[in-house]
């Protein structure tokens, strides 16, 4: 099992004939993803690495039954590309494009929620379910199939964390970069909920960064709703106030959104926070041991109670 994408994913690539679209379409196909179509207006009838290209998403969906789309188009066309995918019946949309205006995303957010569509991004690296499917730009060679879920606001830092887990012998169920913009389609709580409900995921690594309150909100959710162990990492500990650090949402405003506040909130929720990605495998191992010991204690207590009840 995995979340959001798997072997049943039929992928459509919007912007497939562009530099990034064509390169990553080939990489995703090489990884084993079922890339069934591409879309570039005016290029219908051509092929990219054997993948048929259509003039619009509606035609591509009608011919190939694509159920997932990944967007590699310039910022000026990204919003329209999202709307086009949704209107054509695509239920999972991943927008890699950086620079989508926040005003556009406010409208898109409500549009997709009303139609029950999963949007990941924009300005994200996508996601990968190791050995099952890869949608986006996360390098497949650093991933290993396993039972640890990864969710991250960061981009390249996600790769470092995945590599650390793989090197530490911890495979992943699904790794997701949700994007670091101020308004995104899928947040930490959405992904944590999916991991909590996924039987193949036994623990979760959450990678946050400065700015906003998403990590604090996620910490409260973990404390109240999660039964699976969660460990974290917060990027931007040395960032100066008022400076944007890479992402549109990664800015400390006044006294809110600091790394110290986020670490404090996570710790309060029982989520240990690593000071380096290299520490994450050890932290997760420890949390899994604690969880196993806790379950063992509960089981023994129930057994004792059952035995006493029978004697009575």
pLDDT tens digit sequence for 115-158: 999 999 999 999 999 999 999 999 999 999 999 999 999 888 99
- Annotated catalytic residue: which of 24, 110, 114, 247? 247
For the chain, where are the E strands, in sequence order? Answer: 11-14, 35-39, 47-48, 51-54, 68-71, 92-95, 118-120, 126-129, 133-136, 145-152, 172-177, 203-209, 230-235, 273-274
Which residue reads 């700015």 in tokens?
211
pLDDT band at 198 (very low <50, low <70, confident <90, very high): very high
pTM: 0.90
pLDDT band at 257 (very low <50, low <70, confident <90, very high): confident
What percent of the chain lies above the pLDDT cut of 70? 88
Catalytic residue status for 110: no
pLDDT at 247: 53
pLDDT band at 258 (very low <50, low <70, confident <90, very high): confident
Q: Give the residue-averaged pLDDT of 182-200.
A: 97
Model pLDDT for residues 73-91, shown as the tens digit of each residue: 999 999 999 999 999 999 9
For 96-138, where are the E strands, in sequence order? Answer: 118-120, 126-129, 133-136
Taking residue 152's Cβ as centre, other Cβ atoms within 10 Å add up to 29
Q: For the domain made up of 1-123, give the CATH fold.
A: Rossmann fold (3.40.50)
Separation of alpha carbons 149 and 144, rounded Å? 11
Q: 188-197 and 214-225 are packed helices; what angle lies between their axes, rounded to 10 degrees? A: 30
Which positions ≥6 away from 193 have C-beta within 8 Å?
221, 225
All CATH 3.40.50.261 domain ranges in the chain, comma separated: 138-296
pLDDT band at 299 (very low <50, low <70, confident <90, very high): low
All CATH 3.40.50.720 domain ranges in the chain, comma separated: 1-123
pLDDT for residue 295 is more than 80:
no
pLDDT for residue 35 is more than 60:
yes
Homologous superfamily of 138-296 in CATH? Succinyl-CoA synthetase domains (3.40.50.261)
**CB distance 91 to 67 below 8 Å:** yes
**CB distance 165 to 152 below 8 Å:** no
């Amino acid at each position: 099992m995995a979340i959001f994408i798997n072997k049943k994913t039929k992928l459509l690539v919007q912007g497939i004939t562009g530099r990034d679209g064509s390169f990553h379409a080939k990489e995703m196909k090489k990884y084993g993803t079922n890339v069934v179509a591409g879309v570039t207006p005016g290029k219908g009838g051509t092929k990219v690495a054997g993948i048929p290209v259509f003039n619009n998403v509606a035609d591509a969906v009608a011919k190939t039954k694509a159920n997932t789309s990944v967007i590699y188009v310039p910022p000026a066309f990204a919003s329209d590309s999202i709307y086009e995918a949704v209107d054509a019946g695509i239920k999972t949309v991943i927008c890699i494009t950086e620079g989508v205006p926040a005003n556009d995303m406010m409208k898109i957010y409500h549009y997709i929620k009303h139609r029950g569509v999963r949007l990941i991004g924009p300005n994200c690296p996508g996601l990968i379910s190791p050995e099952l499917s890869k949608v986006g730009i996360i390098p497949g060679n650093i991933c290993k199939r396993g039972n640890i879920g990864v969710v991250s606001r960061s981009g390249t830092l996600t790769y470092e964390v995945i590599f650390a887990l793989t090197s530490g012998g911890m495979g992943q169920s699904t790794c997701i970069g949700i994007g670091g913009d101020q308004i995104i389609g899928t947040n930490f709580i959405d992904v944590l909920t999916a991991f909590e409900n996924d039987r193949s995921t036994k623990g979760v690594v959450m990678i946050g960064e400065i700015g906003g309150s998403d990590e604090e909100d996620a910490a409260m959710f973990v404390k109240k709703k999660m039964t699976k162990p969660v460990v974290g990492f917060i990027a931007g500990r040395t960032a100066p106030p008022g400076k944007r650090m890479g992402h549109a949402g990664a800015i400390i405003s006044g006294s809110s959104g600091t790394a110290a506040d986020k670490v404090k909130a996570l710790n309060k929720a029982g989520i240990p926070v690593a000071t380096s990605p290299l520490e994450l495998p050890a932290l997760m191992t420890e949390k899994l041991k604690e969880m196993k010991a806790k379950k063992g204690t509960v089981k023994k207590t129930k057994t004792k109670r059952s035995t006493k009840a029978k004697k009575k």
